[in-house]
A and B are shown apart, each in its own frame.
Chain A
Amino acid sequence: MLAQSALLVGERVRLAALDAEKDAAAIAAWSHNDELLRLLDTDPARMRTAAQTRQDTEELQGKEQPKDSCYLFLIRALAGDRPLGLIDLAIPEWPHRDGWIGIGLGDRADWGQGYGTDAMRVLLRFAFTELTLQRVSLTVFGYNPRAIRSYEKAGFVVEGAQRERLRREGRRWDMVLMGLLREEWERVNTDALTTR
């Protein structure tokens, strides 16, 4: 028997398929949260329309056939099934078995409630048990200590810092490199691997 009967369900959230048509409006609305945009990536904060969002999504995960190089999920709250944000795992080169993670919760009110950490735990289990990856990586900005703490809680280790890579609000900020190896994850997640 497989130990995980509900691979994509956590304690507070589940990872659901993202429907480029149906979910575009919600995702576009999140792009009006400028704080999120500046925590999310290095692109200048810019609002997106639903049509642009739909196109982005299709490009990322493939329009008709899913792409092996990207697993993109909508994070939904278990209570009420409300969409909370996005999480994705990019595997540009399978031979090295490294996955690149991006995560964002759209609404400020949902931050700091444990949704992100739970979504990350579910994604890591998916990455290591289902996709059989060897490691996962992410980068985070020096001004985002809440995210760094959450990633550390999920098991990530700081592997370096690209000094002053970012310039925002007239200051320079480091880009922090983090990574998590399969063995490190297995050591603290034996329950996810044992057969019932």
Chain B
Amino acid sequence: MRSQLGDLNLYRGELVRLAAMDPEQDADAFARWSHDSEYRRLLDSDPARPERAAPIKADMEKRAERGDDNGFGVHTLADDTLIGFVGLWIASWTSAEAFVGIGLGDRAYWGRGYGTDAMRLALRFAFNELNLRRVSLEAFSYNTRAIRSYEKAGFRREGTQREWARRDGRRWDVVSMGILREEWERASV
């Protein structure tokens, strides 16, 4: 007999699925991606440093042991290739809100809807499973492709930290975005 929750598969989207991070199998891919400086500079504000697989693996193991980590590997549905990650970081359980981070390390999948699909899955997990009220993120103003994708997933611009980042000798804004539970529900019916 089917449960009354419906047959919704939380982890399965239209192009990708979310899977547990596997330290043994996935660390090499993350280390490989870290050698792509463009990827690193779109991802976060840390200095782009190539990383070895060993510390990445150790970090993944630590998270897995903690047992409350909401980070996922993003795999294609077509051939199950690991192409990136998406993770929710609960900033406050009392306010029920989280930050989301996403990165597609495999450039072959940029600009083709894979990231947006993964973000939609992360939001569904945030609102339907973790029962959060709000999800936030930040993006560099030079990452227009990502901002478009976040808007497609339902995020709104909420602010601009002026000239927060400095890269290639120029100053760039950091854009703050957010989505409320009600907005997500309205768009998801």
Interface size of B by CB at 8 A reads 25
Check if A164 sits within 8 Å of B163, measured CB to CB.
no
Residues in B whose Cβ lies below 8 Å from that of A165 = 95, 97, 134, 136, 178
Is A118 part of the contact surface with B, judged by Cβ < 8 Å? no
Interface bits B162-183 vs A (CB < 8 Å: 1, else 0): 1111100001000010101000
Check if B161 sits within 8 Å of A137, measured CB to CB.
yes
With A96-B166, A137-B164, A159-B162 given, is the CB distance from A42 to B92 under 8 Å?
yes
Q: How far is the CA of A16 from the CA of B78 in the complex (A)?
A: 61
Q: How far is the CA of A163 from the CA of B182 in the complex (A)?
A: 12
- Known contacts A95-B47, A179-B164; 19 additional CB pairs below 8 A are A95-B166, A96-B166, A135-B162, A135-B163, A159-B159, A160-B159, A161-B158, A161-B159, A162-B134, A162-B176, A163-B158, A165-B95, A165-B136, A165-B178, A166-B95, A167-B94, A168-B95, A179-B162, A181-B163
Chain B interface residues toward A at CB < 8 A: 45-47, 91-92, 94-97, 133-134, 136, 158-166, 171, 176, 178, 180
Chain A interface residues toward B at CB < 8 A: 42-44, 93, 95-98, 134-135, 137, 157, 159-168, 172, 177, 179, 181
Please list the 7 inter-chain residue pairs (A to B) with the smallest Cβ-Cβ separation, ordered nearest first: A160-B159, A167-B95, A177-B159, A42-B92, A166-B95, A96-B165, A159-B159
